[in-house]
Amino acid sequence: MSLNRKIALVTGASRGIGAAIARRLSADGYHVLVNHPPSEGTPTETLAAVKSQGGVAEAAPADVGRIESVRAMFSQIREKYGRLDALVNNAGICPFLEWDAIAESDWDRTHAINLKGAFFCTQEAARIMVANKTPGRIICISSISALKGGSVQAHYCPTKGGLISMMAAFAVCLGPSGITCNSILPGTIETPMNVDFLATAGNRESLEKATCVGFLGQPKDVAGAVAFLCQPEARYITGASLLVDGGEYIKHL
């Protein structure tokens, strides 16, 4: 236990972008709570990676798509640590589906995890931060897909757009308490989420070509942006949307 360290909760941190954020925040001195869905079991890889770099991390099981599960995780955080300094709403799913194959259950589950879960984690985290007068940091991992359409993402894109407007609203609500609320919009980052999609003929090449830099991002590229927003120097950045996309959004010719 390291109660003198700042505490950061990263949702969906068993792999991919969340795991990189957990490692990076631990390198910056945070005691990191590694959220994962209980159905997946302990996130041993992330915990071992943090430990191997001399950091401190603990598992924080909860299905963020279920409010009672989110509330149970936050009561544990209150009881065990009594503080929270940073929340990164990273957990997300993107089942690639054609528009006419999207069932109500696909829409509901995608919104429950990506957007509703982020809302209730933010509400719970903000309650702890406000009560403790912590100059906290709340960050949502949105996506370039909030701004651009995806042919197999008609149910997913609106969840990412929702995160941006939700962070803007919370920035207004929580600014007077010294808490900043921002969105990060990754472009294409190589993770288990898109491994099959990128392996499909032509997809990788066309996505690489769509960037200014000519290559796809890695989870550490997003983690670096999160770490920056968590610095005390970032206290005047709130309600912002930061693209981490190799210039894909602005590229024209």
Interface ranges with ligand RM4 (CB under 6 A): 94, 143-145, 150, 153, 188, 193-194
| Gyration radius of the chain's alpha carbons | 17
141 contacts 151 by C-beta, under 8 angstroms: no
- Of these partners, ligand RM4, ligand NAD, none, which one is at the site of residue 150 (CB under 5 to 8 Å by kind)? ligand RM4
Site stretch for ligand NAD (CB under 6 A), options 2-10, 57-65, 72-80, 231-239: 57-65
The least CB distance from residue 216 to ligand NAD, in Å, is 8
Site stretch for ligand NAD (CB under 6 A), options 1-9, 16-24, 97-105, 171-179: 16-24
- Of these partners, ligand NAD, ligand RM4, none, which one is at the site of residue 122 (CB under 5 to 8 Å by kind)? none
Torsion angle of alpha carbons 52, 193, 246, 213, nearest 10°? Answer: 90
From 56, 67, 52, 58, select the one nearest 35 (Cα to Cα).
Answer: 58
Catalytic residue among 26, 30, 81, 160: 160
Q: Which residue has the tokens 């925040």?
A: 25
DSSP three-state, residue 199? helix
37 contacts 61 by C-beta, under 8 angstroms: yes
Q: Which of 49, 94, 179, 242 binds ligand NAD (CB under 6 A)?
A: 94
Distance, in Å, from the CA atom of 15 to the CA atom of 44, rounded to the nearest integer, reads 10
The least CB distance from residue 130 to ligand RM4, in Å, is 31
Catalytic residue among 14, 26, 142, 143: 143
Q: Using the rule CB under 6 A, is 192 a contact of ligand NAD?
A: yes
Is 143 among the catalytic positions?
yes
